[in-house]
C-alpha cells in the first residue's frame, strides 16, 4: 500500500498543482467581489451619514434655551455628530465656500445662528427625517429646519437598485464558483482514476482510499484560500498607493472575516468534490474508466 501512496504522490503532483491554481483563481475573484461588496456598504454608509440637517434658530435667544435644544436633539438618538454655529462662524463659512462678503454693503449679519448635525445611517430616509423635523420645529426657538430632501429621496432609490444588482451578482458568482471549483477538482481526480481503481482491486477499503485524498483536498482548499487572500491583500495595497482614500475604507476585521469565508468555501467545495469523485470511480467498472 505504501507503494501506491508513493505512486499517487508522483502522479498527482501536476494535477494537484493545477487544481490549487484553478481554485485559487476562482476564490480570488470571489474574494475581490466580496471586498467590493463590503466597501460598497461602507460607501453607502458614508454617503448617508454625510447628509446634514440645519436647524436655524430665531434671533435673540439665550444660551440656556439653545443648550436645552441641543440636548433634546441629542436625546433623540439619531445624531452622528452635532455642532452649534453662530452667525459669525456661518458668515466665515459662507465666504470660504465662495459666497460674496456682504459686510461691505450691509451693516448687520443677516445669517442666523444654527445647530447642524449629521444623521446616523439607519435614520437617513424620508419618513424618519420628516418625523424628526416635525419634532424639532415644535420647539419655540426654532425658526426652520432644512436638509436636502431630493438627495435623501434619490439616495434611497439608488441604494435599493445597487443592493439588488449586487445581490444578483453575488448569487450568480456563487453558482459559478461552485461549478468551476467542482469541475477543477473532478479534472484533477480524473488523472488518478486508475490508481483509485487499482487500490480497490487489491483489497483497499473505501475509507483507506478516500482518506488521503480527502485530507489532500482539505489542504489544497485551505492553501488556495490563503494564496487568494494574500494576492487580494497585495492588490489592495497596490491600489492604496494610487488611491490613498481606499485606506479609510479598509477594515481589518471585515477582511479577516472575508478570509474565513474564502477558507470555508475552499475547504468545503474541494472536500465534497473530491469525495464525490472518489465514490464515482469506485463504483465504475474498470473498462468504463477508459
Does the structure show a pLDDT above 80 at 187?
A: no
Pairing state between β 142-146 and 79-85: unpaired
pLDDT in tens, 129-163: 889 899 999 999 998 998 888 888 887 777 778 77
Instruction: Look at the alpha carbons of 61, 62, 64, 70 in this order and tell me if their dihedral is positive or negative.
Output: positive
Rounded Cα distance, 210 and 204, in Å: 10
For residue 82, what pLDDT is reported? Answer: 92
Element spanning 52, H or E: strand 52-57
Query: What is the three-class DSSP state of 100?
Result: coil
Domains located in the chain, CATH noted? 2-46+156-289 (no CATH), 52-147 (3.30.70.3040)
Q: What percent of the chain has pLDDT over 90?
A: 16
How deeply is 88 buried, as exposed, middle or buried, from its count of CB atoms within 10 A (0-12, 13-18, 19+)? Answer: exposed
User: Taking the model in full, what pTM does it have?
Assistant: 0.58
What's the DSSP call for residue 34? H
Question: Beta-strand (E) ranges in 66-171?
Answer: 79-85, 114-119, 142-146
What pLDDT, in 10s, does the model give residues 221-230? 899 999 999 9
Of 57-71, 171-185, 190-204, the poorest mean pLDDT is in 190-204
Please report the pLDDT score of residue 281 as a whole number.
Answer: 66
Grid cell of 212 as nine digits: 488521503
195, 169, 231: which is closest to 3 by C-alpha?
195
pLDDT of the residue at 11: 46
Residues 108, 27: Cα–Cα separation, whole Å: 65
3-class SS of residue 48: helix
Q: Name the 3-class secondary structure at 239.
A: helix
- Tell me phi and psi for residue 136, to 5 degrees: -70, -40
Statement: residue 240 has pLDDT above 50 = yes
> In terms of pLDDT, which residue wins out, 205 or 61?
61
The answer to whether 258 touches 35, Cβ cutoff 8 Å, is: yes
Cell digits for 268? 468545503
* Average pLDDT value for residue range 172-181: 78
Res 93 pLDDT > 90: no
pLDDT tier at 231 (50, 70, 90 boundaries)? very high
Three-state SS for 152?
A: helix
User: How confident is the model at residue 86, as a pLDDT?
Assistant: 79
Q: Find how far residue 213's CA is from the centre of its chain.
A: 34
Q: Ranked by mean pLDDT, which of 9-18, 62-71, 160-169, 208-217 comes out on top?
A: 62-71
Amino acid at each position: 500500500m505504501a507503494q501506491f501512496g508513493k505512486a499517487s504522490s508522483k502522479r498527482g503532483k501536476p494535477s494537484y498543482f493545477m487544481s490549487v491554481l484553478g481554485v485559487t483563481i476562482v476564490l480570488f475573484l470571489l474574494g475581490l467581489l466580496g471586498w467590493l461588496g463590503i466597501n460598497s456598504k461602507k460607501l453607502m454608509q458614508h454617503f448617508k451619514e454625510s447628509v446634514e440637517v440645519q436647524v436655524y434658530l430665531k434671533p435673540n435667544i439665550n444660551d440656556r434655551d439653545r443648550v436645552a435644544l441641543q440636548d433634546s436633539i441629542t436625546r433623540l438618538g439619531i445624531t452622528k455628530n452635532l455642532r452649534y454655529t453662530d452667525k459669525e462662524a456661518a458668515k466665515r463659512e459662507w465666504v470660504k465656500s465662495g459666497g460674496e462678503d456682504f459686510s461691505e454693503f450691509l451693516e448687520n449679519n443677516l445669517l442666523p445662528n444654527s445647530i447642524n448635525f449629521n444623521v446616523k445611517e439607519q435614520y437617513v430616509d424620508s419618513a424618519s427625517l420628516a418625523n424628526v423635523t416635525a419634532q424639532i420645529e415644535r420647539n419655540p426657538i426654532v425658526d426652520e429646519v432644512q436638509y436636502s430632501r431630493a438627495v435623501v429621496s434619490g439616495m434611497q432609490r439608488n441604494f435599493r437598485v445597487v443592493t439588488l444588482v449586487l445581490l444578483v451578482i453575488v448569487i450568480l458568482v456563487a453558482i459559478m464558483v461552485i461549478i468551476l471549483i467542482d469541475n477543477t477538482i473532478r479534472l484533477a481526480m480524473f488523472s488518478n482514476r486508475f490508481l483509485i481503481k487499482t487500490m480497490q482491486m487489491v483489497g483497499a477499503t473505501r475509507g483507506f482510499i478516500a482518506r488521503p485524498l480527502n485530507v489532500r483536498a482539505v489542504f489544497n482548499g485551505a492553501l488556495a484560500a490563503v494564496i487568494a487572500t494574500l494576492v487580494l491583500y497585495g492588490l489592495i495595497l497596490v491600489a492604496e498607493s494610487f488611491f490613498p482614500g481606499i485606506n479609510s475604507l479598509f477594515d481589518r476585521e471585515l477582511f479577516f472575516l472575508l478570509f474565513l469565508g474564502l477558507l470555508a468555501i475552499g475547504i468545503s467545495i474541494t472536500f465534497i468534490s473530491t469525495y464525490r469523485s472518489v465514490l464515482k470511480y469506485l463504483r465504475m467498472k474498470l473498462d468504463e474508466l477508459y
